[in-house]
Amino acid sequence: MDDPGARRQLDQFLQYPAAYSRQALGYAEALGIAPERVARAADTVAAAAHGRTAEPGFAQFLRGAAPVPDGPRRPRPAPLVIRDRTFAWGARTHVMAILNATDDSFAGDGVAGDEAAIRATVQAAIEGGADIIDIGGESTRPGATRVSAEEELQRVLPAIAIAREITQLPLSIDTYKAEVARQALEAGADMVNDVWGATADPAMASTVIAAGCPLVLMHNRPAPPAHNELGGHFEGVEYGDVVAEVHAQLSDLLDAVEAAGIPRERLIADPGIGFGKTPAQNVELLGRLEVFNGLGQPLLLGVSRKSVIGHALGDGAADRAAGTIAANLAGIAQGVDILRVHDVALAVQAARVMDAVLARPTLPDPAPSRPLPAIE
């Protein structure tokens, strides 16, 4: 196979067949191809890659594909309405602005208790073109001190009130505490962004169900924090295969909250760059984000100003704005739907250009997927 891009896709499919099963079946649905033919094609590709005699099924599969203008495109999840806005996944990249109502943000942008600064942050998000504003009251940087629900509420509720006074943009509450989520939603927030994937507080799922709101499930893992001249990070985090394990754990989280009663179409997946992963593991994830399309959910990427940028640059003092844009563009190219950022206007401009370059029309939401036979 001479095409490096095709070779890479084949390698990833063979390495992560479970991750790609939903995506492959989504293509099949969009093209009108029976799932059984996809399974036969996968078996044939695997046989050829491992030096065995290939059956003619793969060629038949390709010949049987119904023509689609400009070629097949990645099916996207069904649109999601948040507050009064429809998020049509795949039509364009959406931008989530960060509002840190904290006093110890790693990015130095904490605005806890400062009404003027909160107003300025909200206004900058609006003028920059944000689609969502994510409000958090506890720093989650490596080694940060945890705060009580009471203190977190004292920080986020005034910020929500100010934001809601200024704008009708959807507001997200960035918390892993169910009580904080409940009161924030009652105060005007529209969705929950949980960095522990609804596992830190057993009441989180029921809180989201009662509110009927969307939920961002992020992958995370307990790990010892570290700090050097390049910034705070995690060290000694063991993964056999970080991409495969993060994918599997996110898939389990999605299944668990769906079983608890949260509809799949309200769930957004986040691989958790910077959380419970070493700098090298974060870079590997950033290079293989397309694997997470196989989850069948909208994807959120939060890499803005994080130490992974400083590690990649080899300079802890460097301005990370340009590095953040580079990481965000890599995410968009691999199918990311939402960018969570500090520098909203820069992110929106970069996203609009990348969206224009990619110009990917969307296909209808695929039917529920069925697992492919394992590739041996």
Lowest mean pLDDT among 20-29, 91-100, 135-144, 171-180: 20-29
Q: For a pLDDT cut of 70, what percent of the chain falls above it?
A: 67
CB 332 within 8 A of CB 354: yes
- Are residues 34 and 96 part of one domain? no
pLDDT tens readout for residues 148-192: 999 999 999 999 999 999 999 999 999 999 999 999 999 999 999
Assess whether 10 and 123 both reside in one domain: no
For residues 289 and 328, the answer to whether their CB atoms sit within 8 Å is no
Q: Domain with 138 in it: what CATH number?
A: 3.20.20.20
On whether both 55 and 116 belong to a single domain, the answer is no
- CA 354, 194, 76, 35 torsion-angle sign: positive
Judge if 58 and 87 occupy the same domain: no
Residues 177, 268, single domain; the answer is yes
Which pLDDT score is estimated for 202? 96
Structure token pair of residue 349: 């401009």
Helix axes 17-31, 242-260, angle to 10 degrees: 60
Within a domain: residue 72? no
Specify whether 32 is located in the same domain as 95.
no
- What is the DSSP pairing of strand 94-100 with strand 132-136? parallel
Residue 344 is part of which domain span?
A: 80-358
pLDDT at 316: 65
Which residues contact residue 108 at a Cβ distance below 8 angstroms, ignoring those fewer than 6 apart? none
340 is catalytic: yes
Residue 73 covered by a domain:
no
- For residues 222 and 283, membership in a common domain is answered with yes
Distance spanning both ends of the chain, measured CA to CA: 21
Residues 94-107 pLDDT 10s:
999 999 998 754 44
Residues β-bridged to residue 268: 216
Long-range contacts of 207-211, Cβ-Cβ distance < 8 Å, separation of 24 or more: 207/178, 207/181, 207/182, 208/181, 208/257, 208/262, 209/260, 209/261, 209/262, 210/182, 211/181, 211/182, 211/185
pLDDT in tens, 225-278: 556 554 555 566 778 888 888 998 999 999 999 999 999 999 999 999 988 888
Q: CA–CA separation, 194 vs 269, rounded Å?
A: 10
Within-domain flag for 70: no
* Mean pLDDT, residues 277-301 taken together: 90
Helices (H) and strands (E) in the chain, counts: 13, 12
- pLDDT at residue 135, as a whole number: 97
Q: Is 288 a catalytic residue?
A: no
Domain tally for the chain?
A: 2
Of these residues, 119, 306, 320, 352, which one is catalytic? 306
Question: Given this model, what pLDDT does residue 296 score?
Answer: 87
Q: Tell me, yes or no, whether 108 and 195 share the same domain.
A: yes
In a domain, residue 276? The reply is yes
Query: How many CB atoms lie under 10 A from the CB of residue 225?
Result: 12
- From 230, 319, 329, select the one nearest 280 (Cα to Cα): 230
Q: Assess whether 211 and 328 both reside in one domain.
A: yes
Are the C-beta atoms of residues 36 and 28 closer than 8 Å to each other? no
> pLDDT digits over 30-54, tens only?
656 565 655 555 555 455 444 444 4
Domain for residue 9, yes or no?
Answer: yes
| Domain edge (last residue) among 36, 63, 90 | 63
Instruction: Look at residue 123 and tell me if it is in a domain.
Output: yes
What is the structure's pLDDT at 359? 78
Closest CA to 300 of 93, 47, 160, 52: 93
Alpha-carbon torsion (233, 328, 360, 85), positive or negative: positive
pLDDT of 23 strictly over 70? no
Sign of CA dihedral 43, 46, 48, 52: negative
Average pLDDT over residues 8-12: 52
Is residue 375 in a domain? no
pLDDT of residue 290: 87
Question: What does the pLDDT read at residue 239?
Answer: 85
Task: Please report the pLDDT score of residue 206 as a whole number.
Answer: 97
Pair (301, 227) in one structural domain: yes
- Of 57-66, 219-228, 245-254, which has the strongest mean pLDDT? 245-254
182 and 279, same structural domain?
A: yes
Query: Given this model, what pLDDT does residue 242 score?
Result: 87
Q: What is the mean pLDDT of the chain?
A: 79
The one-letter code for the residue type at 296 is: G
Looking at per-residue pLDDT, the higher value among 49 and 285 belongs to: 285
Between 350 and 10, the higher pLDDT residue? 350
Q: Which candidate, 279, 294, 196, places its Cα nearest to that of 244? A: 294
Looking at the fold, whether 129 and 223 belong to one and the same domain comes out as yes
Please give the residue that has the higher pLDDT: either 314 or 335.
335
For 329-340, write each residue's pLDDT tens digit.
999 999 999 999
**Among the options 182, 340, 360, 370, which is catalytic?**
340
| 376, part of any domain | no
State the pLDDT at residue 327: 93
